[in-house]
Structure 1
Amino acid sequence: MHKTVDFFFDLGSPASYLAWTQLPGLCARQGATLRYRPMLLGGVFQATGNASPVMIPAKGRYMFTDLARFAERYGVPFGLPPGFPVNTLTLMRGAVGTQLRSPERFEALLAVLFNGLFAQRRNLGDSAALDDTLSQGGFDPQVFRALAADEEVKAALRHATEEAVERGVFGAPTCFVGDQMFFGQDRLDFVEEALRQGASSRSS
Protein backbone atom coordinates (compact mmCIF):
# COMPACT_ATOMS: atom_id res chain seq x y z
CA MET A 1 0.00 0.00 0.00
CA HIS A 2 1.42 3.36 -1.03
CA LYS A 3 2.36 5.80 1.73
CA THR A 4 0.46 9.09 1.89
CA VAL A 5 0.32 12.17 4.07
CA ASP A 6 -2.98 14.06 4.21
CA PHE A 7 -2.15 17.70 4.92
CA PHE A 8 -5.13 19.68 6.21
CA PHE A 9 -4.33 23.40 6.15
CA ASP A 10 -5.60 26.95 5.85
CA LEU A 11 -3.58 29.51 3.91
CA GLY A 12 -3.94 32.06 6.71
CA SER A 13 -2.22 29.81 9.24
CA PRO A 14 1.47 30.67 9.67
CA ALA A 15 2.10 27.20 11.08
CA SER A 16 0.54 25.74 7.92
CA TYR A 17 2.96 27.86 5.88
CA LEU A 18 5.95 26.47 7.76
CA ALA A 19 4.67 22.90 7.37
CA TRP A 20 4.15 23.54 3.65
CA THR A 21 7.81 24.54 3.28
CA GLN A 22 8.94 21.20 4.72
CA LEU A 23 6.40 18.54 3.77
CA PRO A 24 7.29 18.10 0.08
CA GLY A 25 10.90 17.31 0.95
CA LEU A 26 9.88 15.09 3.85
CA CYS A 27 7.52 13.08 1.64
CA ALA A 28 10.12 12.80 -1.10
CA ARG A 29 12.63 11.37 1.39
CA GLN A 30 10.14 8.72 2.48
CA GLY A 31 8.68 7.94 -0.93
CA ALA A 32 5.27 9.19 0.16
CA THR A 33 2.56 11.12 -1.67
CA LEU A 34 1.57 14.46 -0.17
CA ARG A 35 -2.18 15.04 -0.44
CA TYR A 36 -3.16 18.67 0.00
CA ARG A 37 -6.46 19.04 1.89
CA PRO A 38 -7.48 22.71 2.05
CA MET A 39 -10.07 23.48 4.72
CA LEU A 40 -11.54 26.59 6.33
CA LEU A 41 -9.94 27.02 9.73
CA GLY A 42 -12.68 29.35 10.92
CA GLY A 43 -15.20 26.61 10.24
CA VAL A 44 -13.10 24.11 12.16
CA PHE A 45 -12.87 26.49 15.11
CA GLN A 46 -16.62 27.03 15.08
CA ALA A 47 -17.35 23.31 14.93
CA THR A 48 -14.89 22.34 17.66
CA GLY A 49 -15.08 25.29 20.04
CA ASN A 50 -11.42 26.05 19.44
CA ALA A 51 -9.99 29.53 18.81
CA SER A 52 -6.87 31.12 17.40
CA PRO A 53 -3.96 31.47 19.85
CA VAL A 54 -3.93 35.21 19.08
CA MET A 55 -7.12 35.46 21.13
CA ILE A 56 -4.90 34.99 24.19
CA PRO A 57 -2.25 37.73 23.97
CA ALA A 58 0.48 35.97 25.97
CA LYS A 59 -0.02 32.74 24.03
CA GLY A 60 -0.08 34.61 20.73
CA ARG A 61 3.19 36.40 21.47
CA TYR A 62 4.89 33.15 22.36
CA MET A 63 3.53 31.38 19.29
CA PHE A 64 4.92 34.01 16.93
CA THR A 65 8.32 33.84 18.63
CA ASP A 66 8.30 30.06 18.36
CA LEU A 67 7.29 30.12 14.70
CA ALA A 68 10.12 32.54 13.96
CA ARG A 69 12.55 30.11 15.60
CA PHE A 70 11.35 27.32 13.35
CA ALA A 71 11.54 29.53 10.26
CA GLU A 72 15.17 30.26 11.09
CA ARG A 73 15.84 26.56 11.61
CA TYR A 74 14.20 25.73 8.27
CA GLY A 75 15.98 28.59 6.51
CA VAL A 76 12.77 30.11 5.11
CA PRO A 77 11.52 33.71 5.15
CA PHE A 78 8.80 34.43 7.67
CA GLY A 79 6.78 37.37 8.87
CA LEU A 80 3.17 38.23 9.58
CA PRO A 81 1.13 40.36 7.18
CA PRO A 82 -0.47 43.57 8.43
CA GLY A 83 -3.93 43.01 9.81
CA PHE A 84 -3.15 39.43 10.84
CA PRO A 85 -5.17 37.22 11.21
CA VAL A 86 -6.37 37.47 7.60
CA ASN A 87 -9.86 36.47 6.50
CA THR A 88 -9.12 33.56 4.17
CA LEU A 89 -12.60 32.64 2.90
CA THR A 90 -11.93 33.92 -0.63
CA LEU A 91 -8.40 32.50 -0.61
CA MET A 92 -9.52 29.05 0.44
CA ARG A 93 -12.42 28.95 -2.00
CA GLY A 94 -10.12 30.03 -4.81
CA ALA A 95 -7.57 27.42 -3.80
CA VAL A 96 -10.17 24.64 -3.71
CA GLY A 97 -11.54 25.81 -7.05
CA THR A 98 -8.09 25.69 -8.60
CA GLN A 99 -7.49 22.23 -7.15
CA LEU A 100 -10.79 21.05 -8.67
CA ARG A 101 -10.61 22.76 -12.06
CA SER A 102 -6.89 23.24 -12.75
CA PRO A 103 -5.09 20.71 -10.54
CA GLU A 104 -1.86 21.06 -12.52
CA ARG A 105 -1.60 24.68 -11.30
CA PHE A 106 -2.64 24.09 -7.70
CA GLU A 107 0.82 23.75 -6.16
CA ALA A 108 2.02 26.86 -7.99
CA LEU A 109 -0.96 28.76 -6.59
CA LEU A 110 -0.13 27.63 -3.06
CA ALA A 111 3.38 28.98 -3.51
CA VAL A 112 2.06 32.35 -4.70
CA LEU A 113 -0.40 32.70 -1.82
CA PHE A 114 1.67 31.25 1.03
CA ASN A 115 4.71 33.30 0.03
CA GLY A 116 2.56 36.36 -0.52
CA LEU A 117 1.24 36.13 3.02
CA PHE A 118 4.28 35.06 5.02
CA ALA A 119 7.38 35.81 2.93
CA GLN A 120 6.23 39.06 1.29
CA ARG A 121 3.97 39.83 4.26
CA ARG A 122 1.05 41.07 2.18
CA ASN A 123 -2.48 41.23 3.57
CA LEU A 124 -4.23 39.06 1.00
CA GLY A 125 -7.54 39.75 2.67
CA ASP A 126 -7.27 43.09 0.85
CA SER A 127 -8.68 42.82 -2.68
CA ALA A 128 -6.06 45.01 -4.33
CA ALA A 129 -3.17 43.18 -2.65
CA LEU A 130 -4.65 39.80 -3.59
CA ASP A 131 -5.19 40.79 -7.22
CA ASP A 132 -1.68 42.16 -7.51
CA THR A 133 -0.15 39.06 -5.90
CA LEU A 134 -2.10 36.74 -8.17
CA SER A 135 -1.16 38.72 -11.27
CA GLN A 136 2.52 38.78 -10.36
CA GLY A 137 2.33 35.00 -9.81
CA GLY A 138 0.85 34.36 -13.25
CA PHE A 139 -2.78 33.87 -12.19
CA ASP A 140 -5.80 35.76 -13.47
CA PRO A 141 -7.53 37.47 -10.53
CA GLN A 142 -10.90 37.43 -12.30
CA VAL A 143 -10.69 33.68 -12.89
CA PHE A 144 -9.68 33.18 -9.25
CA ARG A 145 -12.62 35.23 -7.99
CA ALA A 146 -15.02 33.42 -10.31
CA LEU A 147 -13.87 30.13 -8.84
CA ALA A 148 -14.32 31.50 -5.32
CA ALA A 149 -17.92 32.44 -6.16
CA ASP A 150 -18.77 29.06 -7.74
CA GLU A 151 -21.40 27.15 -5.76
CA GLU A 152 -19.76 23.77 -6.43
CA VAL A 153 -16.48 25.13 -5.09
CA LYS A 154 -18.15 26.55 -1.99
CA ALA A 155 -19.76 23.17 -1.33
CA ALA A 156 -16.44 21.38 -1.81
CA LEU A 157 -14.75 23.59 0.78
CA ARG A 158 -17.60 23.03 3.25
CA HIS A 159 -17.38 19.28 2.70
CA ALA A 160 -13.59 19.26 3.18
CA THR A 161 -13.94 21.24 6.40
CA GLU A 162 -16.65 18.90 7.69
CA GLU A 163 -14.50 15.87 6.82
CA ALA A 164 -11.57 17.39 8.70
CA VAL A 165 -13.70 17.84 11.82
CA GLU A 166 -15.07 14.29 11.51
CA ARG A 167 -11.51 12.97 11.44
CA GLY A 168 -10.65 14.82 14.65
CA VAL A 169 -9.05 18.00 13.29
CA PHE A 170 -9.28 21.01 15.60
CA GLY A 171 -6.61 23.29 14.17
CA ALA A 172 -4.08 23.80 11.39
CA PRO A 173 -1.93 22.28 10.19
CA THR A 174 -3.00 18.70 10.82
CA CYS A 175 -1.41 15.73 9.08
CA PHE A 176 -2.60 12.16 8.84
CA VAL A 177 -0.51 9.11 8.09
CA GLY A 178 -3.13 6.42 7.83
CA ASP A 179 -5.27 6.83 10.96
CA GLN A 180 -2.50 8.55 12.93
CA MET A 181 -3.11 12.27 13.43
CA PHE A 182 -0.36 14.83 14.02
CA PHE A 183 -1.27 18.43 14.89
CA GLY A 184 1.15 21.29 14.38
CA GLN A 185 4.13 21.99 12.16
CA ASP A 186 6.38 21.12 15.10
CA ARG A 187 5.30 17.47 14.86
CA LEU A 188 6.72 16.79 11.41
CA ASP A 189 9.41 14.54 12.89
CA PHE A 190 6.61 12.25 14.09
CA VAL A 191 5.04 12.34 10.62
CA GLU A 192 8.32 11.22 9.10
CA GLU A 193 8.76 8.56 11.78
CA ALA A 194 5.27 7.18 11.04
CA LEU A 195 6.14 6.96 7.35
CA ARG A 196 9.37 5.12 8.13
CA GLN A 197 7.61 2.71 10.47
CA GLY A 198 4.94 2.06 7.86
CA ALA A 199 7.63 1.18 5.33
CA SER A 200 9.36 -1.11 7.83
CA SER A 201 6.17 -2.96 8.79
CA ARG A 202 5.33 -3.64 5.14
CA SER A 203 8.81 -4.93 4.35
CA SER A 204 9.00 -7.27 7.37
Structure 2
Amino acid sequence: MGPSPRTLELFYDVLSPYSWLGFEVLCRYRNIWNIKLQFRPTYIAGIMKDSGNKPPAMVPRKAQYMANDLRRLKEHFQVPLRFPKDFNSAVLEKGSLSAMRFLTAVNMEHPESLEKVSRELWMRIWSQDEDIVESQSILAAAQKAGLSAEKAQGLLEKSSTAQVKNQLKETTEAACKYGERSGWALCLPP
Protein backbone atom coordinates (compact mmCIF):
# COMPACT_ATOMS: atom_id res chain seq x y z
CA MET A 1 0.00 0.00 0.00
CA GLY A 2 1.51 3.31 -1.14
CA PRO A 3 1.00 6.83 0.04
CA SER A 4 -2.48 8.30 0.20
CA PRO A 5 -3.53 10.16 -2.92
CA ARG A 6 -3.18 13.92 -2.94
CA THR A 7 -6.24 15.97 -3.77
CA LEU A 8 -6.00 18.11 -6.87
CA GLU A 9 -8.68 20.73 -7.45
CA LEU A 10 -9.53 21.25 -11.09
CA PHE A 11 -11.27 24.57 -11.70
CA TYR A 12 -12.77 24.44 -15.18
CA ASP A 13 -15.33 25.80 -17.60
CA VAL A 14 -16.64 23.71 -20.50
CA LEU A 15 -16.21 26.76 -22.72
CA SER A 16 -12.44 26.30 -22.52
CA PRO A 17 -10.85 23.72 -24.82
CA TYR A 18 -7.69 23.86 -22.73
CA SER A 19 -9.74 22.95 -19.66
CA TRP A 20 -11.08 19.95 -21.57
CA LEU A 21 -7.61 18.76 -22.47
CA GLY A 22 -6.45 19.15 -18.87
CA PHE A 23 -9.59 17.42 -17.60
CA GLU A 24 -9.07 14.40 -19.87
CA VAL A 25 -5.37 14.07 -19.08
CA LEU A 26 -6.00 14.28 -15.33
CA CYS A 27 -8.85 11.76 -15.54
CA ARG A 28 -6.72 9.43 -17.64
CA TYR A 29 -3.69 9.48 -15.35
CA ARG A 30 -5.19 10.07 -11.90
CA ASN A 31 -4.46 6.52 -10.74
CA ILE A 32 -0.91 6.51 -12.09
CA TRP A 33 -0.21 9.92 -10.55
CA ASN A 34 -2.00 8.93 -7.33
CA ILE A 35 -4.30 11.94 -7.27
CA LYS A 36 -7.87 12.38 -6.18
CA LEU A 37 -9.57 14.86 -8.50
CA GLN A 38 -11.91 17.40 -7.04
CA PHE A 39 -13.89 18.93 -9.90
CA ARG A 40 -14.72 22.62 -9.39
CA PRO A 41 -17.08 24.04 -12.07
CA THR A 42 -16.06 27.68 -12.53
CA TYR A 43 -17.21 30.55 -14.73
CA ILE A 44 -14.36 31.53 -17.05
CA ALA A 45 -15.89 34.92 -17.90
CA GLY A 46 -15.64 35.79 -14.21
CA ILE A 47 -11.97 34.83 -14.19
CA MET A 48 -11.35 36.89 -17.33
CA LYS A 49 -13.06 39.89 -15.74
CA ASP A 50 -11.18 39.52 -12.45
CA SER A 51 -7.80 39.18 -14.18
CA GLY A 52 -8.44 41.91 -16.74
CA ASN A 53 -7.61 39.37 -19.43
CA LYS A 54 -9.26 38.93 -22.81
CA PRO A 55 -10.21 35.56 -24.30
CA PRO A 56 -7.37 34.36 -26.58
CA ALA A 57 -9.69 34.49 -29.59
CA MET A 58 -10.02 38.27 -29.11
CA VAL A 59 -6.27 38.84 -29.52
CA PRO A 60 -5.24 38.04 -33.13
CA ARG A 61 -1.81 36.55 -32.39
CA LYS A 62 -3.12 34.53 -29.47
CA ALA A 63 -6.01 33.29 -31.62
CA GLN A 64 -3.62 32.11 -34.32
CA TYR A 65 -1.38 30.43 -31.79
CA MET A 66 -4.35 28.84 -30.02
CA ALA A 67 -5.67 27.27 -33.24
CA ASN A 68 -2.30 25.67 -34.03
CA ASP A 69 -1.64 24.70 -30.43
CA LEU A 70 -5.02 23.03 -30.00
CA ARG A 71 -4.57 21.06 -33.22
CA ARG A 72 -1.27 19.66 -31.92
CA LEU A 73 -2.64 18.95 -28.45
CA LYS A 74 -5.75 17.28 -29.86
CA GLU A 75 -3.58 14.81 -31.75
CA HIS A 76 -1.13 14.28 -28.93
CA PHE A 77 -3.76 13.60 -26.28
CA GLN A 78 -6.24 11.90 -28.63
CA VAL A 79 -9.16 14.14 -27.63
CA PRO A 80 -11.76 14.66 -30.41
CA LEU A 81 -11.55 18.44 -30.26
CA ARG A 82 -12.95 20.43 -33.20
CA PHE A 83 -13.65 24.15 -33.36
CA PRO A 84 -17.31 25.14 -33.67
CA LYS A 85 -18.15 26.35 -37.18
CA ASP A 86 -19.49 29.63 -35.82
CA PHE A 87 -16.90 30.14 -33.09
CA ASN A 88 -17.94 33.72 -32.33
CA SER A 89 -21.55 32.78 -31.73
CA ALA A 90 -20.94 29.53 -29.86
CA VAL A 91 -18.09 30.67 -27.65
CA LEU A 92 -17.92 34.46 -27.50
CA GLU A 93 -21.60 35.39 -27.69
CA LYS A 94 -23.46 32.51 -26.04
CA GLY A 95 -20.83 31.72 -23.43
CA SER A 96 -21.35 29.03 -20.83
CA LEU A 97 -23.19 30.54 -17.87
CA SER A 98 -26.23 28.24 -17.95
CA ALA A 99 -24.04 25.17 -18.54
CA MET A 100 -21.78 26.05 -15.63
CA ARG A 101 -24.72 26.72 -13.34
CA PHE A 102 -26.10 23.33 -14.31
CA LEU A 103 -22.76 21.66 -13.55
CA THR A 104 -22.68 23.46 -10.21
CA ALA A 105 -26.12 22.01 -9.42
CA VAL A 106 -24.89 18.55 -10.48
CA ASN A 107 -21.88 18.94 -8.20
CA MET A 108 -24.12 19.95 -5.29
CA GLU A 109 -26.71 17.18 -5.73
CA HIS A 110 -25.03 14.33 -7.67
CA PRO A 111 -21.24 14.82 -7.60
CA GLU A 112 -20.76 11.25 -8.79
CA SER A 113 -22.20 12.34 -12.16
CA LEU A 114 -20.19 15.52 -12.56
CA GLU A 115 -17.34 14.00 -14.58
CA LYS A 116 -19.64 12.40 -17.15
CA VAL A 117 -21.96 15.40 -17.51
CA SER A 118 -18.99 17.76 -17.87
CA ARG A 119 -17.49 15.53 -20.58
CA GLU A 120 -20.79 15.44 -22.48
CA LEU A 121 -21.05 19.23 -22.47
CA TRP A 122 -17.46 19.51 -23.74
CA MET A 123 -18.26 16.94 -26.42
CA ARG A 124 -21.29 18.95 -27.53
CA ILE A 125 -19.49 22.25 -28.05
CA TRP A 126 -15.92 21.15 -28.85
CA SER A 127 -16.49 17.97 -30.83
CA GLN A 128 -20.04 17.89 -32.20
CA ASP A 129 -20.53 21.64 -32.77
CA GLU A 130 -23.73 21.66 -30.73
CA ASP A 131 -25.22 24.14 -28.29
CA ILE A 132 -24.48 23.97 -24.54
CA VAL A 133 -26.61 26.81 -23.15
CA GLU A 134 -30.19 26.07 -24.19
CA SER A 135 -32.23 23.99 -21.75
CA GLN A 136 -32.85 21.14 -24.20
CA SER A 137 -29.10 20.97 -24.96
CA ILE A 138 -28.18 20.75 -21.30
CA LEU A 139 -30.83 18.09 -20.70
CA ALA A 140 -29.59 16.07 -23.69
CA ALA A 141 -26.02 16.13 -22.35
CA ALA A 142 -27.18 15.13 -18.87
CA GLN A 143 -29.23 12.22 -20.16
CA LYS A 144 -26.40 11.03 -22.41
CA ALA A 145 -24.21 11.06 -19.29
CA GLY A 146 -26.66 8.73 -17.57
CA LEU A 147 -28.91 11.03 -15.55
CA SER A 148 -32.61 10.26 -15.72
CA ALA A 149 -34.87 12.82 -17.40
CA GLU A 150 -36.42 13.57 -14.01
CA LYS A 151 -33.09 14.16 -12.25
CA ALA A 152 -31.81 16.27 -15.13
CA GLN A 153 -34.95 18.42 -15.15
CA GLY A 154 -34.75 18.89 -11.39
CA LEU A 155 -31.12 19.96 -11.66
CA LEU A 156 -31.97 22.34 -14.48
CA GLU A 157 -34.60 23.97 -12.28
CA LYS A 158 -32.18 24.12 -9.35
CA SER A 159 -29.54 25.76 -11.55
CA SER A 160 -31.51 29.02 -11.57
CA THR A 161 -31.70 29.27 -7.77
CA ALA A 162 -29.76 31.78 -5.70
CA GLN A 163 -28.01 28.89 -3.93
CA VAL A 164 -26.49 27.57 -7.18
CA LYS A 165 -25.68 31.04 -8.52
CA ASN A 166 -23.90 31.92 -5.28
CA GLN A 167 -21.98 28.64 -5.26
CA LEU A 168 -20.72 29.21 -8.81
CA LYS A 169 -19.73 32.76 -7.89
CA GLU A 170 -17.89 31.54 -4.78
CA THR A 171 -16.04 28.85 -6.73
CA THR A 172 -15.03 31.36 -9.38
CA GLU A 173 -13.79 33.74 -6.69
CA ALA A 174 -11.82 30.88 -5.12
CA ALA A 175 -10.17 30.18 -8.48
CA CYS A 176 -9.24 33.85 -8.77
CA LYS A 177 -7.71 33.80 -5.28
CA TYR A 178 -5.61 30.76 -6.22
CA GLY A 179 -4.35 32.76 -9.17
CA GLU A 180 -3.26 35.57 -6.89
CA ARG A 181 -1.23 33.13 -4.80
CA SER A 182 0.20 30.84 -7.45
CA GLY A 183 0.32 32.68 -10.75
CA TRP A 184 -2.08 30.05 -12.20
CA ALA A 185 0.59 27.35 -12.25
CA LEU A 186 -0.69 23.79 -12.20
CA CYS A 187 1.63 21.55 -10.27
CA LEU A 188 1.19 17.82 -10.07
CA PRO A 189 2.48 15.85 -7.09
CA PRO A 190 5.92 14.24 -7.55
| TM-score, scaled to structure 2 | 0.83
Deviations 1:88-119 (A, max 9, x none): 11111110111011112112211211212212
Pair 1:94-2:102 in alignment:
yes
Identity of paired residues, percent? 25
Q: Aligned Cα RMSD in Å? A: 2.3
CA distance in 1: counterparts of 2:110 and 2:157, whole angstroms: 13
1:12 corresponds, among 15, 23, 38, to 15
Post-superposition shift, 1:127?
4.2
SS in 2 for 1:5: strand
Taking the TM superposition and a 5 Å limit, the aligned residue runs for 1:20-169 are 20-81=23-84, 82=86, 83-85=89-91, 86-139=94-147, 140=149, 141-168=152-179
Stretch of structure 1 that moved more, 118-127 or 66-75: 118-127
Decide whether the 8 Å contact of 1:98 with 1:147 is kept in 2.
no
CA distance in 1: counterparts of 2:137 and 2:111, whole angstroms: 24
Stretch of structure 1 that moved more, 154-163 or 106-115: 106-115
Alpha carbons of structure 1 residues 57 and 126: separation in structure 2 relative to 1, 3 Å: farther
Amino acid at match of 1:100: M
CA distance in 2: counterparts of 1:99 and 1:133, whole angstroms: 15
The runs of 5 or more residues in structure 1 that have no matched partner are 170-175, 184-190, 197-204
Decide whether the 8 Å contact of 1:39 with 1:161 is kept in 2.
yes
Which runs of structure 1 show a deviation greater than 6 angstroms over 4 or more consecutive aligned residues? none
CA distance in 1: counterparts of 2:20 and 2:39, whole angstroms: 13
Decide whether the 8 Å contact of 2:117 with 2:141 is kept in 1.
no
SS in 1 for 2:129: coil
- Size of the alignment, in residue pairs? 179
Amino acid at match of 1:145: L
Decide whether the 8 Å contact of 1:117 with 1:124 is kept in 2.
yes
Amino acid at match of 1:158: K
CA distance in 2: counterparts of 1:77 and 1:67, whole angstroms: 11
Alpha carbons of structure 1 residues 136 and 104: separation in structure 2 relative to 1, 3 Å: closer
The runs of 5 or more residues in structure 2 that have no matched partner are none
Query: Comparing both chains, which one has the higher relative contact order based on Cα–Cα distances under 8 Å and sequence gaps of 6 or more?
Result: 1
| TM-score, scaled to structure 1 | 0.78
Post-superposition shift, 1:78?
0.8
SS in 1 for 2:37: strand
Amino acid at match of 1:119: S
CA distance in 2: counterparts of 1:56 and 1:70, whole angstroms: 20
